[in-house]
Amino acid sequence: MAVDASHIYWADAGKSGFPGTIWKAPLTGSPATTLVNRQNNPAGVAVDASHVYWANSGAGTIYEAPLTGGGASFLSSASSAPQFAAPAGVAVDSSHIYLANSGDGTIKEAPLTGGTATTLVTGLLSPVGVAVGP
């Protein structure tokens, strides 16, 4: 789950046979709207001034989508380079996305512009959350 000045964002993993969804809702209590659907076990939502980011834990992929809605953009995946193993936690700053990989016990960072991830921490049991500060 992530929050900005006006909305709350979250991932709904769905259930067997039903794809996951990324949602947003105004902090005023108005109804939620779907930002992106048909995701493979989405987890770890993060937000910046223009995009929402999440991990598709089931596929080892990372995506972003505009806060205003529209199609998701592929940032990186385990198939392009063996770097994500069941990513579960996501955080973002102005230049990087940070991932808690529960499948291999690592914390990694990757450039928002794409490219190879850097391993920051190893030897964890099964991390599921990560955060960055100012």
> To the nearest 10°, the Cα dihedral for 1, 117, 104, 130?
-30
CATH of the domain at 53: 2.120.10.30
127 found inside a domain: no
- Model confidence pLDDT, tens digit, residues 84-124: 888 899 999 999 999 999 999 999 998 888 778 899 999 99
Structural domains in the chain (count): 1
pLDDT of residue 77: 56
14 found inside a domain: yes
114 found inside a domain: yes
CA 11 – CA 72 distance, rounded (Å): 14
129 found inside a domain: no
* CA dist list (Å): 77 to 21, 54, 96: 19, 12, 15
Mean pLDDT of the chain: 87
CA 57 – CA 101 distance, rounded (Å): 9
